[in-house]
Chains A and B, each alone.
Chain A
Amino acid sequence: DVKVTQSSRYLVKRTGEKVFLECVQDMDHENMFWYRQDPGLGLRLIYFSYDVKMKEKGDIPEGYSVSREKKERFSLILESASTNQTSMYLCASSLATRNQETQYFGPGTRLLVL
């Protein structure tokens, strides 16, 4: 079974802090994704990566950056956390094939920025 793990289930941070959210997958997937989920909205893509050291902006990249130094690990960085970044953050991974490839998700990190 594919396993995607996220470093924390819950985090509380203060405005202005630098925040790191870590995601690790164990199935050698090329693609990795970071989403945020807010009430009443669908999952929104922040950044994705299709290979080591490669990254692409998603729909809402402002205020975030990412790092992918190893294939299995994809980090989301909030350079200076703000209250509007309070949200549920989900990481996902998938194979890079030309089929209708399913994305496999981690359990999410619920971040509260005070």
Chain B
Amino acid sequence: ILNVEQSPQSLHVQEGDSTNFTCSFPSSNFYALHWYRWETAKSPEALFVMTLNGDEKKKGRISATLNTKEGYSYLYIKGSQPEDSATYLCALREDNYGQNFVFGPGTRLSVLP
């Protein structure tokens, strides 16, 4: 079974700090990478879909990069705020059939005021 890893498992940062975390995947199995934010007691919410090596996506203070050759994606949060506290999931699609994702275990971010 395809393995998608995320690191760190959790982190705590102070309000205003910038932070980043990693999603790693086998570089030979790639069709698209999705990032989700999952706040407690809410539904996971889609952040980005990334498909091309070198892709960079941005949404407000959150951005993501993709390196398909080496098999990783970084998610960056600039100037973290308490409302950024959530679990960030990455999910890999291996192909264009079946529409199935393989999810990483997530990075749990806590932003302390």
Contacts and interface: CB of A to CB of B under 8 A. Distances in A.
A100 B100 contact: no
A50 B41 contact: no
Given A42-B104, A100-B34, A101-B99, A59 B1 contact: yes
Contact of B103 (A43, A50, A107): A43
B62 interface: no
A4 B46 CA distance: 13
Interface residues of A, number: 27
Given A40-B9, A42-B106, A48-B100, A100 B44 contact: no
A58 B46 contact: no
Interface in A50-90: 50, 56, 58-59, 90
A103 interface: yes
Given A50-B99, A96-B99, A41 B43 contact: no
B13 interface: no
A38 B105 CA distance: 9
26 contacts: A31-B99, A41-B105, A42-B89, A42-B102, A42-B104, A42-B106, A43-B103, A44-B103, A56-B98, A59-B1, A90-B44, A100-B34, A100-B49, A100-B51, A100-B93, A101-B99, A102-B34, A102-B49, A103-B34, A104-B46, A105-B43, A105-B44, A105-B45, A107-B41, A107-B43, A108-B43
